[in-house]
Amino acid sequence: MKIVKPGFKIESRINGEAILKKIERFGRTCYKSEARTTPDSARKFCAMLIKNGHESVLEHVSVTVRIICDRGVSHEIVRHRIGVAYSQESTRYCNYKSKGIKVIRPFFFESDDLRYQLWIDVMRACESGYVKLIESGATPQEARSVLPNSLKTEIVMTLNLRAWRHFLKQRCSEKAHSQMREIFVPLLAKFKELIPVIFEDIQAEYK
């Protein structure tokens, strides 16, 4: 068994200024204001779209991110359906017998905490049961019934920018699960760094 950390990798190549210019080019179609485009007008135009709630124009741009998380977190992620495409590591087809399972450590269990040791014991028991089932002739899709929520998974998600805005508002909120926030608060910060204007009004809330 191997314990790994959650995280993300942005798979898309992002040029923030180019994204803003693309949104401006398409958005000005709605107002037939193409003649007002200048070399530095994109930021102001995109900010106007967001302020006025004209976010449908943002759907012309998508960003793909690979998320490393546990299965419990992934179940919450895939509840978002509009403007989203997913590809996820499948426990039906992946056989974890030879290399052992990988699990995501819950950050809220300290290493010197009894609860952490109890969690370790349960994870090892799950791995042992899984291996025994495979060795007895069970297929991966049958043996997966004993795998825990803490099982590490990878899920690739592609969302348009409007969908990303909605997703991050929901999953960076103080009401979101702490393990969701562990991943998506840093992703929001990275998006703010890479793509000007589009995510500036979204704040990560802290308890």
Residues catalogued as catalytic: 171
Strands 84-88 and 152-160: what pairing? antiparallel
* Alpha-carbon span 183 to 10, nearest angstrom: 12
With CA atoms as reference, report the closest residue to 172 among 182, 163, 181.
181
The token pair that represents 40 in the structure block? 């530095």
With CA atoms as reference, report the closest residue to 156 among 90, 106, 59.
90
CB-CB contact of 171 with 74 (8 Å): no
Sign of CA dihedral 171, 173, 177, 180: positive
